[in-house]
Amino acid sequence: MVKAVLAFAALTGLAPLTSASSASDYWRRQPQRRDVSPTATFAPVPSTSPTVSPIVPNPSPNYVDSFVKPCGEAFSLNGQPFYFAGANAYWLMNQTNDWVDAAFGNLSAQGIGVVRTWFFNNGYYNTVNGTEQAFNDSPEGIGHLDYVVKRARDYGIRLIATLANNWPDFGGTHYYLQQTGYQYHDDFFTQPELIQLYKEYISHILNRNNTFTGILFKDDPTFFAWELMNEPRCLSYTDIKSQNCTTATMTNWIDDMSTYIKSLAPNTMVTVGDEGWFNEPSLVDNWLYDGFNGIDFETNLQLENIDFGTFHTYPDHGWGAGTTGYDLSFEWGEQWIRQHRTVGAKVGKPVVNEEYGFAQRTDRMSYEQYYYAVTEDIGIAGDLFWSFWIAPPDGSPIAEGNSANSTYTPGLNYYTNDTDWPIIRQHVYNMAQQNLPKGQADFSCFGANNMFCSETAA
């Protein structure tokens, strides 16, 4: 174990903390963050519509007419750095237009310019029967995404669009497996029929002509990135893993799918959507680091068509809690962030903490201030909190369902009436400050995938 820890320290510059972890508590340690079940009934839009902030003028006329690009370990927009603090609002794909307006209005008012949302609703957006697939392009189906994209563009907000789910919420891989008769979760990543079905879905989405803007999704700079899947793994809590699923299995699938998306949308960035697990097999019984889930963060980041890395951070929600409890979760979270930044620097690509949340609502502000300071200090390219919700005026639950967090529960969700928005706004501001030219610096990128950057004072 000591040798393995030293090996990992050589890889990242930091050794993983030895928090209590075993096979018996593996599932207990998974974050139950799925706020709405597939059969949830959403509360209707109140007769008094949610408060919608006025549209904030775009920073420049070309703000949504240019693609954000990777630039070394950062992002670039129109030749300038593009650091950001954003939000997850996965539910935009099945809410009414009023709620879409309210979401983007409120987020824009906080200065947030990047939102991660889900571009799937399997079983409704697309129906699968064996090898046959049909698409629901109605205004209530895939057509609703036109409005989501249009309003994001209106507010100068860019989208990270997630195309599938590892979990059964809103269909996910489980839906494809059910409809095709496959047994193992990782069949989704290896069986030709399932790979073809998913590519058909990707093609249908990316080639869609937005009925409001007339721009094909694949050509629209409103998209910050296309994301392969929300939290891909060899297994889920509904479908078991075969004995054949390894990190190579997942890396091969990621390589294939990212290459396919780039063939359709060469100007838009592509990312994985994974939680950022490492692959040091010697670290047995430490599922964050031992490759058991099939994810090898560094190897995947090295793939030609993966533009930036993603990782998720839930320090007090089972991931970092160990024998010393609360204090260890603080320490673990900082180390987790630093380890991914170190690997990003080694590979030469940006990394984004694309989901983070804190189960302890009473102490959440302490976590936020602590990790925001780390993020801003070490040059993480961006982060997005999990997750943004609009609080109904009457204080009722956003949604009813049978999932653990399907109602208005304390912890991971951020509502418009929460008290810690000033801390979030300050973080948004601090990240945006990094985008200002240093003495009118010329921050230019060139070469394949804009991997070579120069910064020259004017």
Res 36: pLDDT: 29
User: Of residues 33 and 50, which shows the higher confidence score?
Assistant: 50
Q: Model pTM?
A: 0.84
State the residue for tokens 């949604």. 399
> CB under 8 Å, gap of 24 or more: what pairs does 56-59 form?
56/108, 56/109, 56/155, 56/156, 57/156, 58/156, 59/156
> Is 231 annotated as catalytic?
yes
pLDDT band at 330 (very low <50, low <70, confident <90, very high): confident
User: Of residues 292 and 358, which shows the higher confidence score?
Assistant: 292
Res 48: pLDDT: 40
What does the pLDDT look like over 100-132, one tens digit per residue? 999 999 999 999 999 999 999 999 999 999 999
Count the Cβ atoms, other than its own, within 10 Å of residue 139.
11
pLDDT at 55 over 50: no
> CB under 8 Å, gap of 24 or more: what pairs does 58-63 form?
58/156, 59/156, 63/156
What mean pLDDT comes out for the span 191-216? Answer: 99
What does the pLDDT look like over 303-318, one tens digit per residue? 999 999 999 998 877 7
pLDDT at 5 over 90: no
Most confident of the ranges 31-40, 237-246, 416-425: 237-246
> Is 331 annotated as catalytic?
no
Res 394: pLDDT: 52
Rounded to whole angstroms, how far apart are CA atoms 12 and 311?
A: 15
Mean pLDDT lowest for which of 14-28, 70-84, 232-246?
A: 14-28
Contact between 303 and 258 under an 8 Å Cβ cutoff? The reply is yes
Strand partners, 399: 42
User: Of residues 455 and 346, which shows the higher confidence score?
Assistant: 346
What does the pLDDT look like over 396-448, one tens digit per residue? 444 333 233 333 333 478 888 888 889 999 999 999 999 987 654 445 554 44
Percent of the chain with pLDDT over 90: 64
The residues, ordered by sequence, that sit 6+ positions from 362 with a Cβ below 8 Å of its Cβ are: none
3-state secondary structure of 456: strand
Res 327: pLDDT: 56
What mean pLDDT comes out for the span 211-228? Answer: 98
For 383, the enclosing helix (H) or strand (E) is strand 382-385
Q: Which of 231, 298, 334, 368 does the annotation list as catalytic?
A: 231
Res 393: pLDDT: 54
The residues, ordered by sequence, that sit 6+ positions from 409 with a Cβ below 8 Å of its Cβ are: none
What does the pLDDT look like over 59-108, one tens digit per residue? 433 456 899 999 999 999 998 999 999 999 999 999 999 999 999 999 99
Contact between 87 and 111 under an 8 Å Cβ cutoff? The reply is no
The residues, ordered by sequence, that sit 6+ positions from 456 with a Cβ below 8 Å of its Cβ are: 441, 442, 444
For 175, the enclosing helix (H) or strand (E) is helix 172-180
3-state secondary structure of 259: helix
Spans of all domains in the chain: 57-456
Res 397: pLDDT: 42
Mean pLDDT lowest for which of 143-147, 257-261, 399-403?
A: 399-403
User: Of residues 154 and 322, which shows the higher confidence score?
Assistant: 154
Cis peptide before 138 (omega within 30 of 0): no
What mean pLDDT comes out for the span 382-404? Answer: 63
Mean pLDDT lowest for which of 96-100, 142-146, 296-300?
A: 96-100
Res 14: pLDDT: 46
pLDDT at 381 over 90: yes
Q: Which of 275, 280, 298, 355 does the annotation list as catalytic?
A: 355
pLDDT at 281 over 70: yes
What mean pLDDT comes out for the span 256-279? Answer: 98
State the residue for tokens 């921050």. 443
Fold topology of 57-456: TIM Barrel (3.20.20)
- The number of helices, as runs of H, and strands, as runs of E, in the chain is 11, 19
Rounded to whole angstroms, how far apart are CA atoms 413 and 63?
A: 29
